[in-house]
A and B are shown apart, each in its own frame.
Chain A
């Protein structure tokens, strides 16, 4: 029977569902509940992180000594290609817009579910099958894709890269691409149509705002990638010459298409994490987000600019308009800077609590600061000319993605209790944080220097070069520390399994998800507070401490005690 949601009678209905809904594997296969799907996304993306991380450790193992032959050159090409692909397409992306967003966004705006629950489930299945497709490249003759995660034409055509691995890579990306597009549609529709009464656009939590802009960016960018992949497939199998000079095509066109998706993708990965970090910092400082409106403005500006900077990845092709892309890219630093100072402003005069989630958020701040500053160099064509495709770039984007990983880990510590009902162990969490934080710096700083000393990226062996050796050793030490931190995380999950009940609001949270039970009931709420600011739960719990001067917060209209 279809569920008709009208708030006053939600509770009775849902008691019923929870008793009779399917459990176990059938629940996983058939659920359209955004929380279950979000959980599936979370677990799957963490598995991808472990797989991608294993590739990374192998890469670092190979690069520890010069002229190493732990893996062959052919295997090395597969390793970094699949490391990059798994991390970007299968871990960070789905984690950012599929995992936590799926669980949290509807709850933060007081919605019973995503707007299109079955489409949401389809997104997950496309993601999972896409991941399986891409990874199965390792089991076919010729091995997995080996043209780098960017698949530059003409290296990716059927002459230079024959074999099923490359096609599986394309196929996997088609599936995950559609998965992302559907998620984008779903998030946008949910935010536009399912907000609770009083939840105006400018009362949405920053995380939800960032997810909205992310979703719009997904809708703008991903179709371009999908189209490009179809062209690439046609070039490989149907004899078209879109990207090959021989038939009158233009190889650089692929780069234009790829990066037109690829740069917004950077923000598709980053904006959700910015949102997570914003929430964490505000809650653990016991203050409202400083400059809430400025924060939203910054997010929109980043989204708007991100469509016009793609060719900063192509400065060295000699075929792009350097000044345009340079100034557009530099300008993105401005809203990013605003965010940075707003985060600091949120902590300023606050009551900062060093929980694991907050530590991770602080680790994000510092690491992202480094990644952001080095990004500014790369926006300047002359500086890009001398660092492009060297380890400087690898270090730059690892500063960024490791910062995102810290923010994401923080969000798991922060929202995990809401999703599962149980807290994670804080001691192990802090060990994980310090390993991850220090490891990241030990890993990236030598790589910056390696790049400046001329070590190109994507090389499986390098000669005995006096300036490179120590740096490579340190980078490997950092990589091992990062690996250990991930082990800590897995150990923590096992150790804390159902050990520390969280309660509904363990952190004194601000937003609606902390108003409901942990985990929330089938359609999320038994009751909703009056929404008069972007912090309805805080207003309810701390009357007289609202940031907004007007309005009567804290009035609960639908009184109904939670059913256990």
Chain B
């Protein structure tokens, strides 16, 4: 009982004690509500609007997201309750002047130290996920992704396979499932953003910088990707797709692509032209 009281401003008039204690308990009960609700929900923590992720690291990012959100709901909830309580409980009724209390050092220290602890906890959780995400594990598959105004070029080194697409035809980056896929991201003009929503991940494609990261997809499927960094007139149209397929499908796809490229190279005297199209800027009035 006296513990509870330490949080209140000091020097309460004696007759106020019981009423205020009751009130304070009520506040605590209200604050406990969201926690209880979450405990009840148990294993089915809601997604809070985010995508659960289709790669291993995007799943950890999703967990982190849920953790942060639960924390935010608790902290935000308590704060909102306090605001609403203060506003309605202490709304002006007459012309009296309230007690002019200004400091309560233990209370102030409490709400300095608790946030510091929360922040350090969030930072620790962040570090764990971040290290997982930026790790560079051993990989068998490498894809060079190159962004240009306004499209993407995916090159499979050593395979004679290149996929290019811009504005109206979205290119498709094919990659195998359950396999560490190493991406080398570059840009040939301005800054672009390589963003795959289902992978909960984005990274800038910077001119003059090689950015590298690894995806390990856990489900097959086709996912939308889009440029997220403003790159000029047709930024809105810089879509691509990521197609995650099984290992055998992947090998087949690579073969057929390579064969097609070779055939094209043979049939046309203009070697290389089909596989690595020099990107041209669309002209004004692109639909």
Contact = CB atoms under 8 A, between A and B. Distances in A.
| Co-complex (A, B) | yes
Interface of A: 73-74, 76-77, 147-148, 152, 154-155, 160, 245, 250-252, 285-294, 316-319, 322-323, 326-327, 330-331, 333-334, 337-338, 340-342, 344-345, 347-354, 362, 365-366, 369-370, 373-374, 376-377, 380-383, 385-386, 388-390, 448-449, 452-454, 456-462, 542, 545-547
Contacts of A342: 108
A475 to B, nearest CB: 14
Given A334-B116, A348-B86, A385-B133, A373 B75 contact: yes
B257 to A, nearest CB: 26
Contacts of A370: 76
Contacts of A366: 80, 83
Contacts of B130: 322-323, 326, 380-382
Contact of B236 (A291, A317, A334, A459): A459
A63 to B, nearest CB: 11
B160 interface: no
26 contacts: A155-B231, A286-B92, A288-B100, A323-B130, A326-B126, A331-B116, A334-B115, A344-B83, A347-B83, A347-B90, A348-B86, A350-B86, A351-B92, A351-B93, A353-B92, A369-B80, A369-B83, A380-B123, A383-B68, A385-B202, A452-B48, A452-B51, A453-B197, A458-B236, A461-B237, A462-B236
Contacts of A73: 233-234, 236
B207 to A, nearest CB: 5
Contacts of A386: 50, 58, 61, 65, 197, 200-202
Interface stretch (B30-38, B171-179, B221-229, B241-249): B221-229
Contacts of A385: 61, 133, 200-203
A542 B86 CA distance: 24
A340 B108 CA distance: 11
Interface stretch (B136-144, B151-159, B186-194, B265-273): B186-194
A318 B119 contact: no
Contacts of A382: 60-61, 64, 126, 129-130, 133
A245 B79 CA distance: 48
Given A330-B122, A389-B195, A461-B237, 4 more contacts: A251-B191, A319-B206, A330-B123, A458-B230
A354 B91 contact: yes
A337 B115 contact: yes
Closest 7 CB pairs of A and B: A454-B197, A245-B208, A389-B228, A386-B200, A459-B236, A347-B86, A452-B49
Given A155-B191, A366-B83, A369-B76, A454 B98 contact: no
A155 B203 CA distance: 17
Interface string B270-284: 000000000000000
Interface string B99-128: 111111001100110011001001101110
Contact of B115 (A245, A285, A333): A333
Nearest to A150: B230
A390 B101 CA distance: 45
Nearest to B234: A73
Given A154-B189, A322-B134, A352 B230 contact: no
Nearest to A76: B236
B193 A160 contact: no
Given A326-B126, A380-B126, A369 B79 contact: yes
Given A333-B115, A380-B126, A389 B90 contact: no
A287 B101 contact: yes
Contacts of B79: 340-341, 344, 369
Interface string B195-220: 10100111110111101010000000
B97 A286 contact: yes
B133 A448 contact: no
Contacts of B237: 461
Given A251-B191, A386-B200, A386-B201, A290 B68 contact: no
B103 A154 contact: no
A515 to B, nearest CB: 18
B96 interface: yes
Contact of A373 (B72, B116, B229): B72
Given A316-B193, A382-B64, A252 B209 contact: yes
B274 to A, nearest CB: 28
A322, A352, A353, A380 — most chain B CB neighbours (10 Å): A380
Given A287-B101, A330-B119, A349-B99, A452 B207 contact: no
Given A344-B82, A349-B99, A354-B91, A331 B195 contact: no
Nearest to B50: A452
Contacts of A250: 208
Contacts of B46: none
B206 A351 contact: no
B168 to A, nearest CB: 12
B65 to A, nearest CB: 6
Contacts of B97: 286, 351, 542, 545
Contacts of A289: 102
Contact of A152 (B50, B87, B125, B229): B229
Given A251-B207, A344-B79, A323 B111 contact: no
B224 A147 contact: no
A317 B204 contact: yes
B230 A147 contact: yes
Contacts of B201: 385-386
